[in-house]
Amino acid sequence: MLTYTKPTIDDLLGNSIASLDIPDGVHRLAVARYQAVAQALERRWQSGSIYPQGSFRLGTAVRPIHAEGEYDIDLVCRREIETTSTTQETLKADVGVALAAFAASNPEGSPKLSEGKRCWTLDYPSDPFHLDALPAIPDKEAHPDGILLTDRNLHEWQHSNPIAYSDWFYAVIVKEFTERREVLAKRMQVDDVPEWQVKTTLQRAVQALKRHRDIYFIERADDAPASIIITTLAARAYARADDLLDVITSVVGRMPQLVEVRNGVYWVANPVQPQENFADRWQSNPKRAEAFFEWIAAAHNDFASIGEASANLDRVLTRIAKSLGDDAAKGGGAALGNSLRDARDRGELKMAPRTGALAVGAAPTGIPVRRHTFHGDSA
């Protein structure tokens, strides 16, 4: 029976997670759509800015778990005015009027505007995504990038800083990110490689955990931990390693230990605004805390089991499917098959004589796996 070396299993897992990425064409289209919104609103107000936040900015977005689902692109719509010049109700209404005027101007994609509790949504009927624009103003206490958001009940301004959070997250992975970007830039300048095309092991780990969460809580979505909690704890738990599976299992193993308890309250602090608790809803709904610890234990077991199944490719794929879904496992398996075929044709696929483990590389030890002709003879 063939077995597969750790790097090969890592490639399989990595390709499976990569199948969850936003397709390049969809990513470029989403950027074009929100840039069009930004230009229209900046012309209207002569100031302000619109920029992405959340998973789209962090490179950790995953495709919707349901076939009919859409990518949720979160944007900050920042107006350069002070709290003394507006109210939360007025701010949200003004942004709504501006977005309604944009939608009425017949822009590409023909978006339809709708109102949510805290944001405005531009839905593009022919595109696989929608844009959620969150009204905001500058936070003088967190200059230059801090913002104030409207409260769900329109009582208190809420503090946030998506740019600082993004800077913190990328600082955790800066070395690996730079190295991987340079590898992608073999035939071009490093600056010409878009940041969103570079994926580090931490970003892949976050994507894997988010998809595992989506599957685990598919029947009780209200109990699922928020992506910001997963991302924050994973980044804090991250320790640089070359093996993707090692990173995922070590991160998942450490995440529960990083949930604090302050005066009897579970606490996942915002790393750039420590007074903010990302797990504040756990206090009003203790089931969410129980669900988090239950899920993270299951995730640890499921990802650890992938490495334990390396003696059988079908078993590895079955365990990846349990964690990431059938489509992701099929995508990873197909990519691995193509990679092994290409390596065999280059003479770089070898088999260890005693264990039967397959290895790929320019000079791995072992017996070369010979290329086949259409007649079944070795070439």
Single residue among 141, 164, 187 that ends a domain in this structure:
164
Does residue 241 lie within any of the structural domains?
yes
Burial 41-79 (b: 16+ CB within 10 A, else e): beeeeeebebebbbbbbbbbbbbebeeeeebebbbbbbb
Residue 370 confidence (pLDDT): 59
Q: Is residue 370 part of a domain?
A: no
* C-alpha dist (Å) from residue 265 to 255, 259, 268, 278, 350: 17, 10, 10, 12, 55
- pLDDT for residue 367: 56
Query: Is 176 within a domain?
Result: no
Gap between the Cα atoms of 159 and 146, Å rounded: 7
Tell me, yes or no, whether 126 and 140 share the same domain.
yes
Size of the chain in residues:
379
Q: Is the pLDDT of residue 61 over 70?
A: yes
Q: What is the pLDDT of residues 335-379, one digit of tens each?
A: 888 877 766 666 665 655 555 555 554 445 555 655 544 444 444
Q: Which residue did the predictor score with more confidence, 67 or 173?
A: 173
Instruction: Pick 67 or 17 by higher pLDDT.
Output: 17
Buried b (16+ CB within 10 A) or exposed e, 135-164: bbbbbeebeebbbbbbeeeeeebbbbbbbb
Query: Quick one: 234 and 139 in the same domain?
Result: no
- Please work out, in degrees rounded to the nearest 5, the angle formed at the alpha carbon of residue 75 by the alpha carbons of 71 and 81: 165
β-bridge partners, 133 = 75, 120
Tell which wins on pLDDT, 47 or 72: 72
Question: What was the pLDDT predicted at 345?
Answer: 67
Whether the Cβ atoms of residue 338 and residue 325 lie closer than 8 Å to each other: no
- Strand partners of residue 112: 123
Domain of residue 244 covers 3-20+200-332
- pLDDT per residue as tens digits for the range 153-208: 767 899 999 999 999 999 999 999 999 999 988 867 777 788 899 999 999 999 99
- Given a cut of 90, whether residue 3 has pLDDT beyond it is no
Chain position carrying tokens 């992405």: 52
Q: Which of 111, 136, 164 is the last residue of a domain?
A: 164
- My answer on whether 128 and 141 are in the same domain is yes
Residues 55 and 130 in one domain: yes
Number of folded domains that form the chain? 2
Crossing angle between the packed helical segments 6-18 and 313-324, to the nearest 10 degrees: 30
- In the chain, which ranges are continuous DSSP H helix? 6-18, 24-45, 55-58, 88-104, 162-172, 174-184, 201-216, 227-237, 244-254, 281-284, 286-308, 313-324, 326-345
Domain membership of residue 169 (yes or no) is no
Do residues 90 and 131 both lie within one domain? yes
Bigger pLDDT: 154 or 303? 303
Predicted confidence (pLDDT) at residue 123 exceeds the cutoff of 60: yes
Residue 141: pLDDT over 50: yes
Full-model pTM: 0.89
Q: Is residue 134 part of a domain?
A: yes
| Whether residue 132 sits in one domain with residue 233 | no
Q: Is residue 360 part of a domain?
A: no
Label residue 313 by pLDDT band (50, 70, 90): confident
Cβ within 8 Å of residue 286, ≥6 positions away: none
In this model, does residue 257 exceed pLDDT 50? yes
Same domain, 278 and 256: yes
Q: What pLDDT is recorded for position 160?
A: 94
28 and 14, same structural domain? no
Mean of all residue pLDDT scores within the chain = 89
User: Are 68 and 97 part of one and the same domain?
Assistant: yes
Given a cut of 70, whether residue 106 has pLDDT beyond it is yes
Q: How far apart are CA 217 and CA 198, in angstroms?
A: 29
Same domain, 157 and 226: no
CA triplet 10, 13, 19: central angle to 5 degrees?
A: 135
Residues 42, 127: one domain? yes
Residues 13, 63: one domain? no
Structural domain contains residue 101: yes
Domain boundary among 298, 315, 332: 332
**pLDDT of 314 strictly over 80:** yes
CATH number at residue 32: 3.30.460.10
Q: What stretch of H or E contains 368?
A: strand 367-368
Residue 171 domain-assigned?
no
